[in-house]
Amino acid sequence: MSDDEDRLLHSVAMQNAQSILLARQRAEQALPSAHSGLEDKTRELDFSLSMMRATLEASRDGILVTDDNAQVTGFNQQYVRMWGIPEQLMASRDHERLLSFVGPQVEGMQAFLDRVHEIYRTSPAESFDLIKLRDGRVYERYSKMQFVEGRHVGRVWVFRDITEQRRAEDALHKKARVLELLNKTGTILTAKLDVRMLAQAVIDAATEISGAKVGAFFYSTAARRDKGFALQAVAGMAMEDFDTCGLPRTGALFDLTLSGAPLIHLDDMQKDPRHEAPPTAASGARKPAVIRSYLAVPVASGSAEVIGGLFFGHPDAGVFDERAERLVTGIAAQAGVSIDNARLYEVARQAAEEREKLLDSERAARSEAEHMSRMKDEFLAMLAHELRNPLAPLRNSVEILRRGSAGPFELEETRAIMDRQIAHMTRLVDDLLDVNRISRGKLELRLEKIRLADALRSAVETSRPLIAARHHTFEATLPDDSVLVDADLVRLSQAFTNLLNNAAKYTPEGGSVALHTVADAQGVTVNVEDTGIGIPAHLGNRIFDMFVQGESSPSMPESQGGLGIGLTLVRKIIEMHGGRIGVESRADRPGSRFVVWLPVAQATQVPPGADADHRPNPAQPQAPGTSFEPRRILVADDNKDAAFTLASLLGMMGHDVRTAHDGAEAIAMAADFSPEIIFLDIGMPHMDGYEACRRIRQLDQAPAPIIVALTGWGQADDKRKAQEAGFDHHFTKPVDPAQLEELVGSNF
Ligand code: ADP
């Protein structure tokens, strides 16, 4: 090493030594002040720790501080007090052990513990929970992660007792709810007028407001009071559960309220002697619940009459307080008035409805009556017209006869005209009589087992002249003789005659008319169809109603006339035979088709004599003698013209005839003249034909005269009466000359 190097080393060593020395000197100088600084700091720290502790203790919240290992690093006495933690447990500083101690105080312990562990595990920045204690207190728990100088050091748990606050809130809420309910009920009570809805609203509100578990509304109107009060509405259960809800529905306690006793409030109904325990339920049935708290209040109408009662129950004793009493009494009072109103409203509404109905039916009846009266007027006008129509040719014929200058051809023609016109008038009158019978429900049928073909054949025979006169082609398929019906032969053939005559009448000349029959096992269908003017579609089956007529066709003046009752008769007759009739307009060509359906009878022997030409009415005339014998005949009729013409006719036949014009005269003449045959009109003044007949029979003449009744009525009843009075025969006016001749014989 060179000297230079030596020197250099030495100087560096010196420098270092100096600086060390300097530093040491400096350090020695600084030490005392560092000491005092440290002491200051320690004091400051102590102070702030005490401040912190004092602050912690000043809080009304319970505070616990833990580190991440669930070691307690701090707490305040409020925390210890809130949970009642013993001192030595607190000294353990083990949060888990604290949790095992507080857990059982909490409702839902497991959930509480799980939540704490979850907070440890997930380390949320903050947490907020409500903790319900088993003794009813409520704690709010807030936790926050703790950081010191940016470092996570643990968690602060803050517990606040909010029990009072919650109670106040609950009470407020309840109050608001009661107000809301009362308000709502009030609105319903004033707005609704339906008793059932009112009852339900009342019991729902009152049950909730009173704090009852179950509530029931029994109600009865005065009209039903004797049947007792009926359960109208329930709350807190289903209607069908009432019998097991524990509230009484009979017994002294129950009756007391419904007989108007003021509010009954029992803290424990089970201890009240008036309470009757329900009978032990049958095995399998649900056991009734036990009600202890009981509240019942009558519901009275505006006139202070008890119309029902509100009943409340709760399984716990002493639930209802004075407030519940007040509210329930108030609701019952309001309910009484509102239900009364609803009831009055209901009565008024029903009365109004009734009145409206009455008015409606009166209006309908009036318009029906007006309609009927119009129909009747139209009918009478038409009837007058129809009856007058044949009079003109008859009058002319009489004039021809009076002049006596007619040749044999004119005479024969005149006679034929008179015949036809009289037949027409007779038919009109017969129809009228039948319709009159229908409307009085007096149309009678003589049902027999007959061959349908016989009835149809008879109808065809009767209509054939008209069909021929109008030059229609005609075809008929009749059922074979095995098709039997239970029917009145005359009426049934009358029905088909009407249909065939109409077909001929409402078809322009030269058309075609047909009758076809199709039989099956249950019934037989008869179609009567034509190629005529058809039935207007708008009429349809109304054409069968009385007096209804289609429009007359200008091209067919002969279709005019008629009374609009023929089809009414047809339908009635068919229906009385258990059948149906309908009409169809033909789509393929003009014309109508009347479709009649009749039930067929069981095939047994057809009684002999049920033949087409058999009539129910006619006298059973004596067989005309082979040699003519003039007879002594008495004709008694108060209608002198009728008596005269009949007498003349009989005189012209070669008989010795006298006339009488009342019953007394007839008897005198019968005694004097000893007639062999007497024609007695039934409807004579002073003494009717029946009486006259009885008296003549009392003369006991030998040989007894044949006495024949002449009436306008061919009813079975008239015939029976005639028979009882002693008549031998019964002729319906006008008497058919052929029938007359058959009875008395003639020398024409
Ligand atoms: P009337 O023939 O006396 O008027 P009805 O009761 O027999 O009475 O018939 C009622 C109406 O039905 C007739 O006026 C006619 O307009 C209509 N009518 C009946 N039968 C036929 C038919 N075969 N074709 C067309 N119209 C008919």
pLDDT tens readout for residues 399-431: 888 888 878 888 888 888 888 888 888 888 888
Q: Which two tokens stand for residue 471?
A: 């030059």
SS3 category, 441: coil
Local structure of residue 398 (DSSP, 8 states):
H
pLDDT for the residue numbered 440: 79
Question: Among residues of the chain, what percentage have pLDDT more than 70?
Answer: 91
Q: Prior bond to 273 cis, omega within 30?
A: no
Find the mean pLDDT for residues 57-62: 89
**Nearest residue (CA) to ligand 1, atom 3:** 562
* Ligand 1 proximity of 564 Cβ (cutoff 6 Å): yes
More confident residue, 466 or 347: 466
Q: Provide the terminal-to-terminal Cα distance of the chain, rounded to the nearest Å.
A: 205
Q: Which two tokens stand for residue 101?
A: 């101690």
Find the mean pLDDT for residues 284-307: 84
More confident residue, 733 or 167: 167
More confident residue, 737 or 235: 235
CB neighbour list of residue 68: distance below 8 Å, 6 or more residues apart: 120, 152, 154
The alpha carbons of the chain give a radius of gyration, in whole angstroms, of: 59
Q: Prior bond to 703 cis, omega within 30?
A: yes
* Ligand 1 proximity of 511 Cβ (cutoff 6 Å): no
Assign 678 a pLDDT band (cuts: 50, 70, 90).
very high
pLDDT for the residue numbered 618: 33
Distance CA 645, CA 398 (A): 13
**Nearest residue (CA) to ligand 1, atom 2:** 562
pLDDT for the residue numbered 217: 92
Is it the case that residue 748 has pLDDT exceeding 50?
no
pLDDT for the residue numbered 565: 84
CB atoms near residue 136 (< 10 Å): 10
DSSP notation for 267-325: S-GGG-TTPPPPPPPPTTSPPPPPP-EEEEEEEE-TTS-EEEEEEEEESSTT---HHHH
460 touches 421 (CB < 8 A): no
Name residue, tokens 């013993």: 86
Find the mean pLDDT for residues 124-153: 92
pLDDT for the residue numbered 715: 65
Maximum alpha-carbon separation in the chain: 215
CA 502–ligand 1 middle distance (angstroms): 6
Name residue, tokens 């000043």: 58
More confident residue, 708 or 399: 708
CA 615–ligand 1 middle distance (angstroms): 26
More confident residue, 517 or 284: 517
pLDDT for the residue numbered 344: 77
Q: How many CA atoms lie within 13 A of 106 on its CB side?
A: 23
SS3 category, 354: helix
Task: Give 109-118 pLDDT, tens digit per residue.
Answer: 999 999 999 9
Task: Give 16-44 pLDDT, tens digit per residue.
Answer: 788 888 888 888 888 888 788 888 888 88
689 touches 719 (CB < 8 A): no
CA 572–ligand 1 middle distance (angstroms): 15
Mean pLDDT of the chain: 84
Find the mean pLDDT for residues 581-589: 81
**Nearest residue (CA) to ligand 1, atom 17:** 550
pLDDT for the residue numbered 243: 85
Q: Which two tokens stand for residue 541?
A: 């089956």
Is it the case that residue 13 has pLDDT exceeding 90?
no
Is it the case that residue 620 has pLDDT exceeding 50?
no
pLDDT for the residue numbered 617: 36
H or E segment at 84? Answer: none
* Ligand 1 proximity of 592 Cβ (cutoff 6 Å): yes
CA 535–ligand 1 middle distance (angstroms): 8
Is it the case that residue 266 has pLDDT exceeding 50?
yes
Ligand 1 pocket, mutate which of 506, 544, 552 (most atoms under 8 A from CB): 506
More confident residue, 471 or 590: 471
696 touches 689 (CB < 8 A): no
Task: Give 729-740 pLDDT, tens digit per residue.
Answer: 988 877 877 888
Domains of the chain: 59-161 (3.30.450.20), 168-275+289-349 (3.30.450.40), 444-553+560-611 (3.30.565.10), 632-744 (3.40.50.2300)
Find the mean pLDDT for residues 525-537: 91
Q: Which two tokens stand for residue 362?
A: 């009166």
* Ligand 1 proximity of 532 Cβ (cutoff 6 Å): yes
Distance CA 483, CA 485 (A): 7
Q: Which two tokens stand for residue 15?
A: 């420098």
- Interior/surface letters 64-88, b for 16+ CB within 10 angstroms, e for the rest: bbbbeebebbbbbebbbebbebeee
Ligand 1 pocket, mutate which of 500, 528, 549 (most atoms under 8 A from CB): 549
Please state which of the ranges 578-582, 591-595, 744-748 shows the lowest mean pLDDT.
744-748
Distance CA 133, CA 130 (A): 10
Assign 613 a pLDDT band (cuts: 50, 70, 90).
very low
> Helix-strand-coil percent breakdown of the chain, rounded to 5?
50, 20, 30
Beta bridge partners of residue 266, listed in sequence order: 294
- Compute CA distances 128 → 100, 400, 704, whole Å: 21, 130, 130
Is it the case that residue 303 has pLDDT exceeding 80?
no
Question: Among residues of the chain, what percentage have pLDDT more than 90?
Answer: 38
Cα angle 612, 617, 623; round to 5: 80
CA 499–ligand 1 middle distance (angstroms): 9
Q: Which two tokens stand for residue 402?
A: 């009076």
Is it the case that residue 626 has pLDDT exceeding 60?
no
Ligand 1 pocket, mutate which of 543, 568, 585, 593 (most atoms under 8 A from CB): 543
Find the mean pLDDT for residues 80-107: 94
CB neighbour list of residue 630: distance below 8 Å, 6 or more residues apart: 654, 655, 656, 747
Please state which of the ranges 368-377, 590-599, 625-634 shows the lowest mean pLDDT.
625-634
H or E segment at 194? Answer: none
Task: Give 549-567 pLDDT, tens digit per residue.
Answer: 776 655 555 544 577 888 9
Please state which of the ranges 181-190, 286-295, 594-603, 617-626 shows the lowest mean pLDDT.
617-626
Is it the case that residue 609 has pLDDT exceeding 70?
no
More confident residue, 248 or 734: 248
Find the mean pLDDT for residues 694-708: 92
Residue 595, φ and ψ in degrees, nearest 5 = -110, 115
User: What's the pTM value of the predicted model, to 2 decimals?
Assistant: 0.46
Distance CA 101, CA 92 (A): 12
* Ligand 1 proximity of 563 Cβ (cutoff 6 Å): yes
Task: Give 217-228 pLDDT, tens digit per residue.
Answer: 998 866 656 667
CA 488–ligand 1 middle distance (angstroms): 24
